[in-house]
Amino acid sequence: MARRWQIAVHKHPRVTEAWRCLRPMLRVPDDWQSPYGRFWLELVGGAVALIAAAWLFGLVAEDVVTGDPLTVVDEILANWLYAHATPAATLAMFVATELGGPTVVTAVTLATAFVLGWRRRWPWLLTLILVVPGGALLNELIKVAFHRARPKFDLPILDVRGYAFPSGHTMIATLLYGLLAVLLVRTLRSRRGRMLVVWAASAVVMLVGISRMYLGAHYLSDILAAIAAGVAWLVLCVIAVATLQYRRRRRR
């Protein structure tokens, strides 16, 4: 039934005429296996992801500024996690949070940069530079713009300074491990391997975010905003470098 409805819509005269007019303006490729066809698909997919991530960040930021219900959930969840903290879980969360900390992030970034440079993958090396250091700078600018205070407890598990929104550890983890996932997905040919990489990167980001909430450094909204901002910046950088690379190839 749905298939028949889809065919009927596709063959409708008005839809056909609209597609005929829009196709030249959008420069929709005829050969999807061509370099332009693949680039077009990546560009459209990236634009959709960028818009979705920016929209989510805007929703969370609006709730934080106006004190909407999400901030109430923030307080409830933060107090619940603090009340149910255990020594074993605290130790595990301290380990998990280091995955988004300066030491691990710097080591992984430098190792990735070395491998990319050794293999002469200059566009991806440029992407790495834009994504991680650039994303860290963007995070600091957003923190200053919103200047949101961190959760307050009588005996905090982790004593941290600075602003909370968005979470720096979570955003950097989203940027770094998200970029590594993109690199590996482009390299691997196995669909199962690609899915495993995506799930592993997502799990690491979520683990870092949960650890920051558990340790009392951030609210839930800080984590959601960090993931959204990280995805948006990552997609923007990947699209920008891919566009530059495609234009250079066309000139050659």
HEC profile of 54-86: HHHHHHHHHHHHHCCHHHHHHHHHHHHHHHCCC
Rounded CA gap, 179 and 171, in Å?
12
Q: Report the SS3 class of residue 1.
A: coil
What's the whole-model pTM score?
Answer: 0.80
> How many degrees, rounded to 5, is the angle at CA 74 between CA 67 and CA 93?
150
> How many degrees, rounded to 5, is the angle at CA 39 between CA 34 and CA 42?
130
Rounded CA gap, 22 and 181, in Å?
34
Rounded CA gap, 102 and 125, in Å?
19
Kindly report the average pLDDT of the chain as a whole number.
81
- Tokens 């280091």 sit at which residue? 98
Sketch the domain layout of the chain as residue ranges.
36-251
For 169-220, the pLDDT digits (tens) are 999 999 999 999 988 888 888 888 888 988 999 999 999 999 999 988 888 9
Q: Which residue has the higher pLDDT, 43 or 11?
A: 43
Q: Which residue has the higher pLDDT, 133 or 6?
A: 133
Q: What is the DSSP letter of 151?
A: P
pLDDT of 208 reads: 93
For 36-251, CATH gives 1.20.144
For 34-86, the pLDDT digits (tens) are 555 566 667 777 778 888 888 888 888 888 888 778 888 888 888 888 888 88
